[in-house]
Chain A
Amino acid sequence: MGEAIVVTSGKGGVGKTTSSANIGTALALLGKKVCMVDTDIGLRNLDVVMGLENRIIFDVVDVATGTCRLEQALIKDKRFETLSLLPAAQTKDKLALKEDAMHKIIDQLKEQFDYVIIDCPAGIEHGFRVAITAADKAIVVTTPEQAAVRDADRVIGLLEQQQIPSPKLIVNRIRPTMVKNGDMLDIDDIISILSLDLLGIVPDDEHVIRAANKGEPTVMRPDSPASMGYRNIARRIIGDPVPLMTLQVDEGGFFQKMKKWMGRR
C-alpha cells in the first residue's frame, strides 16, 4: 500500500508543478514506483514539464466518468520504468472531477505504486478540495515572498481542517545572495510564521526553466543546485536523514573574481 502526497501552495506560479515533476522523478531515481497525478483540470501542464504531452490518449476525468480503465489512462515515463503519469483533462469542465471519484482513483493507484504525487491546482476552490481529498500527506510549496507565505498559511489552515497531519514545507526559488543581503525573506522567518517542518529548500536556478522547456525534469542533471535540492527532498520523503544544504553565495566565475580583484587596486 503506497502513500498519496499532495503538492499544494495556494498561490500560483511558486513551483507546484515543477516540484511535483522533480520529486516524482527523484523518487523514481531512488528506485521507487511512483505515479504523478495532475488534477489541474483545464490548465494541465505536468505532462508538458515531463515531456509526455504527445502520449496522452485518456485522462483523469475519463477514468472518473468510466470512459476508460485506469490502466489505459496511465502514461509510462520515457526515462523510468517505474514512473507513471495520470494526466489532467484539458477540455473538460473543472467540476467533472468529484471528490468520491478522486478517492477511488487514488486508492487504486496506492495499491500499485509506492508513492502517488498529486499536483494540485492553484487556489482554494473546488479543484483544490478534490486534489487534497484523498491525500495522506501534504507538501506545501512556497517562495520567499510575503504573498506566497500568506497564501501558504491559508492553505495549511485548510489542510489542517481536512485532518491531513502536519504538512511539510518546501521553500522554492531561494536566491542566496538576496537572502544574505536581507532583500529576501529568511528561511527561518518563513518557518516561524508557518510553524511547519521544513522538508527542503530549492535554490533559484536557471536550469529549471531550461529543463521544463525541454520536457525533462531538472533532477536528471546532477550538477544543478535545484536538482540537488529536489534529490535531497526525495531522500527525506523515503526516510533518509539528509542534512539541509548550505546555500552558497555565488561569487561569480574565475574571471569575475579576477576583475573584482583588478578593480580593487
Chain B
Amino acid sequence: MGRSVRSIQKNVSELVTVKGIRHGLLFVLSDQADFAEVIKELGRKIPTSLSNLEAKVTVYFDTGERELGDDAKQAIYALFEDHKNLTIGGYEGSPSPLVVKAKEPYVFKGTVRSGMVIEHDGDVVILGDVNPGAQVIASGDIYVMGHLRGSTHAGATGNHKAVIAACYFSPIQIRIAHVLSRGPDVKASAAEMEFAYLNGEQMAIEQLAYLGQHRAHVASFVRL
C-alpha cells in the first residue's frame, strides 16, 4: 500500500518531498530526520507550493518507517488549518485503488417514468430523469445524470456506504440501507449537483464536489 514510494524516498535527502498523485498530493516526510525539523520544513513547503492552488485538494502523507502519534498528527493538522482548500486524506501513503470491479454497474439511458422500477445488484447509473412515481433500487450507489424527482433506494441490501447523487436533486423519497428520508413538503427548487449519504444513522446531503471526501470508495472507483 503505497510502499513503492519508499525507494524514491531513500534517494531523496530532503526532509519533505511533494509529489502529485492521482488522488491529490502526497507529502513524503523523511523518517530519518528529527520530526520537529520535518514539521518545520513542512510548514515552509505548504505556502510556497500551494498558495496559488484554488481547487480543492486532498493531501496524503507518507511517513515511511516513522509511526505518527496523535500529537504528531495534531501538529500536521495545525499546519493545514489555514489552507481551506486542502483536506487531509490519510497518513498511510497514497491511497490504493479499491477493487470494486466485482459487480458491473447498470446503465439506463432515458427517462425513468412513473410506474417503472429499476432494480439492480450493484451500482445504477441513469442517463436521464427519474420522474415521480418511478423507483430505482440498487444494492450499490445510484447516480442520476439528470433530474431526480422520484424515489430511490441505494444500498438496498444494507450497504451503509452507498450514496445517491443527481445533477438536479429533488427526490420525493430517498433511502440508503434502512434509513429513510422524505423530500420537503413545500416545493423547493431542485438543488444542483448534490448527493445523499449516511452520516452515522442520519441522512446527509452534500455538494457533489465533496463526494470523494465522504466516500473514498467512490473516488477511487470513479478514477479506475
Contacts and interface: CB of A to CB of B under 8 A. Distances in A.
Interface stretch (A70-78, A151-159, A237-245): A151-159
A153 B131 contact: yes
Contact of A157 (B113, B132, B147, B149): B113
B116 to A, nearest CB: 5
B47 interface: no
Contacts of B132: 150, 153, 193
A23 B116 CA distance: 31
Interface string B182-198: 00000000000000000
Say what secondary structure dominates the interface of chain B.
Answer: loop
Interface residues of A, number: 11
Interface in B131-165: 131-133, 147, 149
B172 to A, nearest CB: 11
Contacts of A193: 129, 131-132, 149
A154 B147 contact: no
A154 B115 contact: yes
A153 B132 CA distance: 9
Contacts of B133: 150, 153-154
Interface residues of B, number: 13
A157 B114 contact: yes
A192 interface: yes
Contact of B111 (A150, A151, A158, A195): A195
A154 B114 contact: yes
A240 B63 CA distance: 73
Say what secondary structure dominates the interface of chain A.
Answer: helix
Contacts of B116: 157
Interface in B20-36: none
Interface in B27-55: none
A160 B113 CA distance: 10
B192 to A, nearest CB: 14
Contacts of B147: 192
Contacts of B113: 153-154, 156-157, 160
Interface string B94-116: 00000000000000001101111
A193 B111 CA distance: 9
Contacts of B115: 154, 157-158
A39 to B, nearest CB: 21
A157 B135 CA distance: 13
A192 B133 CA distance: 16
Contacts of A153: 113-114, 131-133
Interface of A: 150-151, 153-154, 156-158, 160, 192-193, 195
Interface of B: 110-111, 113-116, 128-129, 131-133, 147, 149
Q: Which 9 A-B pairs have the closest CB atoms?
A: A157-B113, A154-B114, A153-B114, A154-B115, A153-B113, A153-B131, A195-B111, A157-B116, A150-B114
13 contacts: A150-B114, A150-B133, A151-B114, A154-B113, A154-B133, A157-B113, A157-B115, A158-B115, A160-B110, A193-B131, A193-B132, A195-B128, A195-B129
